A and B are shown apart, each in its own frame.
Chain A
Amino acid sequence: MVYYILRRLISAIVVMAMVGIFIFLLIRLTPGDPAAIIAGPTASEQMVASVREQLGLNEPLPVQFGQWAQNTLRGDFGTSVFAGRPVVQLMKQRMEPTLSVALLTLFVSVVGGVTFGILAAWRAGGFVDRALTVFSALGYSLPVFVVGYFLIYVFAIHTRLLPVQGYVPIGQGLGPWFAHLILPTVALSLPYIAFIARIARASMLEVLSEDYMRTAAAKGASPYSMLYRHALKNAGAPIVTVIGLSFAYLIGGVVLTETVFNIPGIGRLVVDAINNRDYPVIQSVLIVISGIYVLINLAVDLAYTLIDPRIRY
């Protein structure tokens, strides 16, 4: 197991290095000049050239790459071209809102999705099952921004129950923090609840038709015990896979939610950085996100061993 984890971590480093090289080349080969953005729309060519010189963008590409790789290996992600602040500091500022939205959404999605899926499988063909079909279709097909605007209208403008937008750090109080996360979480979790519920339902249906489930029923096991002790454990592997994937998608996919609800998270940071060609920020954030992806995949693989003792690495 330890050998397996080490091997995966080493391969993660290789993957991240490849991601780093790819991102470095991609953003520099994309047309765009941060110096021209800084200088502004009506700046003269001379002013743009002067800013470019200051930023070191006149250096040859291999030199720029060498400097960046050296600094990154030392853990120095550089300084934002625009904000003039260390990228690590910017990421720290933006990570809390994104993680708050992502983790709360994951929690709601897992609890809602698994519960919904189990109930639908338990009463396959019944009302709950049909409701899940309708809900899944809606959850998949309604874009986040449509749901977001609808929720804002109903709960923020019409009834004034919740705030329209923004983020309050958890350090400033649990109540305001939670209040600002309710609408984004609901808007973002709908497709994930639908996704997890569909997978949970399918896995559970498969398990529920197994012989040992009939045996458990014949031995007088309660419905609760049958569902949660026997069936869910055996149906767990695909559900955990989906949850892991969902979290990975969430980290990278909260951009639209952050935009609609004006949350200053990592998604907006990277979108703004791409628009402005803020190279150090783009490179660093994408490398960190790729690292999170790799670690989540590793965590999911390790979770299999807990769910299914037959799996060994």
Chain B
Amino acid sequence: MKISRRNVMKASMTIGAAASFPSLLRAQASTGGEPVKWSHGVPQAFDPYTTTDVDIGDYAFGVYDMLFGLDSKLVPQPQMIGDWSASADKRTYTFQLRDGLSWHDHTKVTAADCVASIRRWFQTPGGSLVQQRAQDVSMKDDKTFVITLKEPLGLLIDQLAQVSTYPLFIMREKDADRPPSEAVITHIGSGPFKFNEELFVPGANITFDKFEEYVPRSEAPDGLAGGKIARVSRVIWNDFPDQQTAVSALQAGEIDFLGAPPADLYPVIESDPSLVLEDLFKSGYNYFLRMNCLQKPFNNVKARQAMLHLINQEAFLRVINPSPQYSRPVKSLFGTGTAYTNDANTDWYKEGGDPEAAKQLLAEAGYAGEKVVILDPTDWGEAHNASLLLASEMRKIGINAELASTDWAGLVTRRAKKVSVDEGGWSIFISSATDFQFGDPTTAAWMAMNGEESWFGWPESAEYEALRAKWPDVETLEERQVLAREMQQVWWNYASLISLGQVVSPVAHRKDLTGLVGLKTGNVPMWNMQKG
């Protein structure tokens, strides 16, 4: 066998032809009715009554429908409901379903399905407030059901529409009859998109098909309210484990939408004329640290207040998201953009933090060098970076801070332990929630302070809880805003949760993908968008 120049040329041409063959095939295959492809996390669990997983929201909004939907101003509007009324004493609410509602298995949605779904929802934290007040939920006829209350609940419609935690998605009666501890594994809803079981690859991708029988409302789409019109026949979610690859796929036109591009790649996206970086949510994720109020040193209020003064939110925001136009400090318990955001008792906030005040408070707390264990989730970049900075800042004022590196799965196990750090407990962990969720202290678990019953960290304040208990019965927005100020006054004095700042995650999409609906909840529904 002789290696000649001619043979080399021949081989090169053959390899070149072989290499270009696939791209020719791809070009032919890409014509015709194209699905819209998203880079989107694939939920680990699909029953919206068993999980608060952030990825579940967009799935459930597409597959299921709700009785009421929040519009873009967060005002509840009828969605599956056609007509509703309340009795004069505000104890009996009658709801009638609108025409044309059907399940993805082609059966009709009935009031029985709604009653079963509401009863299932009652067993979750999302429905517990209404459950406490409800005397009965019953079906009147195929299209009508009634909620009877023991005492009036001004927030009833808001609660039926709430999407902060465990929203009320309507399921078939046979699915909803299961207790929430038994996950529903079918994907039969009555929403505008059907789950394509055949093409589903768990953990990798989901395919949704337009539900042709869905009858949208006649109103214009507005947040989660109005007409949910599926303008594309198919939407495919791909779970990209690597965001760099996802951005490359967006640039190459292999996907149309990327939910949360990494901040360091914003310039790449902005410099590509075929792409758009868009702040759809007009809101963001609030990062916070939670202290264990049962154990030393944070069982002492002065030590917790020291942390309030120590935190330099601007510094934390720089390590969480290096893009300044997409981050801002958070001073209010009720976030930055909710109806209840206020400035009561926020004198503690100082740009750059106040380590001297923190030192002083720490001394007043009698801190004697007890070990402080920070749970550090190394598989969550933002929280990991913030944990490293936190440990460094705490050491600077003399706190014996120690990082306990773990993954998120390990963190959620350890944070449930109420014992001391020497017995495997913890002192601090970092988490986040959407700004929107901070607008509802009845459903946001971390906004309760009912001792060992409350969320991890177990703060206890009877004064605060007495105020929080008033929340559902306050009639007007203005009165609730006053109540919010009173709650915040107590909250920051107690200081069980410290804000690290808010990060807004813009979405990236191809220019020819239009009509995306942004929600303050941080969700992007699949309806209304169109391609080309």
Asked if A272 and B203 sit within 8 Å, CB to CB, the answer is yes
A45-B416 contact given A162-B23, A175-B25, CB 8 Å threshold: yes
The residue in chain B whose Cβ has the minimal distance to the Cβ of A34 is B409
A275-B431 contact given A90-B202, A164-B245, A262-B245, CB 8 Å threshold: no
* B219 contacts partner chain A, Cβ-Cβ < 8 Å: no
Q: How many residues of A contact B (CB 8 A)?
A: 63
Of B44-52, B89-97, B471-479, which stretch is located at the interface? B44-52
Asked if B254 and A50 sit within 8 Å, CB to CB, the answer is no
* B414 partner residues in chain A, CB cutoff 8 A: 31
* A60 contacts partner chain B, Cβ-Cβ < 8 Å: no
A47-B124 contact given A38-B50, A42-B52, A268-B204, CB 8 Å threshold: yes
* B244 partner residues in chain A, CB cutoff 8 A: 149
Asked if B410 and A31 sit within 8 Å, CB to CB, the answer is yes
* A54 contacts partner chain B, Cβ-Cβ < 8 Å: yes
Cα separation A54 to B179 with both chains bound (whole Å): 10
The residue in chain A whose Cβ has the minimal distance to the Cβ of B456 is A45
B22 in complex: contacting residue of A179, A264, A268, CB < 8 Å: A179
* B183 partner residues in chain A, CB cutoff 8 A: 38, 54, 84
* B517 contacts partner chain A, Cβ-Cβ < 8 Å: no
Cα separation A48 to B254 with both chains bound (whole Å): 38
* B298 partner residues in chain A, CB cutoff 8 A: none
* A253 contacts partner chain B, Cβ-Cβ < 8 Å: no
Interface flags for A275-309 (1: CB within 8 Å of B; 0: not) read 11100000000000000000000000000000000
Contact residues, A45-72 vs B (CB, 8 A): 45-48, 50-51, 53-54
Q: Which of A157, A176, A262 has the most CB of B within 10 A?
A: A262
The residue in chain A whose Cβ has the minimal distance to the Cβ of B46 is A84
Asked if B52 and A83 sit within 8 Å, CB to CB, the answer is no
* A32 contacts partner chain B, Cβ-Cβ < 8 Å: yes
* A260 contacts partner chain B, Cβ-Cβ < 8 Å: yes
A264 in complex: contacting residue of B204, B410, B456, CB < 8 Å: B204
* A88 contacts partner chain B, Cβ-Cβ < 8 Å: no
CB distance from B282 to the nearest CB of A (A): 22
Asked if A47 and B203 sit within 8 Å, CB to CB, the answer is no
* A85 partner residues in chain B, CB cutoff 8 A: 202
B44 in complex: contacting residue of A37, A166, A176, A271, CB < 8 Å: A37
* B241 contacts partner chain A, Cβ-Cβ < 8 Å: yes
* A156 partner residues in chain B, CB cutoff 8 A: 248, 252
B413 in complex: contacting residue of A36, A90, A163, A175, CB < 8 Å: A36
* B1 partner residues in chain A, CB cutoff 8 A: 224
* B205 partner residues in chain A, CB cutoff 8 A: 264
Cα separation A293 to B455 with both chains bound (whole Å): 46
Contact residues, B240-287 vs A (CB, 8 A): 240-242, 244-246, 248-249, 251-252, 254
B21 in complex: contacting residue of A32, A42, A157, A175, CB < 8 Å: A175
* A45 partner residues in chain B, CB cutoff 8 A: 416, 456
* B363 contacts partner chain A, Cβ-Cβ < 8 Å: no
Asked if A164 and B248 sit within 8 Å, CB to CB, the answer is yes
Contact residues, A5-59 vs B (CB, 8 A): 30-34, 36-48, 50-51, 53-54
* B356 contacts partner chain A, Cβ-Cβ < 8 Å: no
* A163 partner residues in chain B, CB cutoff 8 A: 22, 26, 252, 254
Asked if A264 and B203 sit within 8 Å, CB to CB, the answer is yes
* B252 partner residues in chain A, CB cutoff 8 A: 156-157, 160, 163-164
* A234 contacts partner chain B, Cβ-Cβ < 8 Å: no
Asked if A259 and B242 sit within 8 Å, CB to CB, the answer is yes
Cα separation A149 to B243 with both chains bound (whole Å): 12
Asked if A40 and B416 sit within 8 Å, CB to CB, the answer is no
* B364 contacts partner chain A, Cβ-Cβ < 8 Å: no
* A226 contacts partner chain B, Cβ-Cβ < 8 Å: no
* B433 contacts partner chain A, Cβ-Cβ < 8 Å: yes
Asked if A38 and B406 sit within 8 Å, CB to CB, the answer is no
* B26 partner residues in chain A, CB cutoff 8 A: 163, 176, 179
Asked if A54 and B44 sit within 8 Å, CB to CB, the answer is no
Interface flags for A150-187 (1: CB within 8 Å of B; 0: not) read 00110011001111111000000101101110100000
Q: A residues engaging B (CB < 8 A)?
A: 30-34, 36-48, 50-51, 53-54, 80, 82-85, 90, 93-94, 149, 152-153, 156-157, 160-166, 173, 175-176, 178-180, 182, 224, 258-262, 264, 268-269, 271-272, 275-277
Closest 3 CB pairs of A and B: A179-B22, A40-B52, A264-B204
Q: Can you sample 28 A-B contacts with CB below 8 Å? A: A31-B406, A31-B413, A32-B413, A37-B408, A38-B50, A38-B51, A40-B51, A42-B446, A44-B125, A45-B456, A51-B50, A51-B181, A54-B182, A83-B202, A83-B203, A149-B248, A156-B252, A163-B254, A165-B248, A179-B23, A179-B26, A182-B22, A260-B245, A262-B238, A269-B203, A275-B407, A276-B44, A276-B409
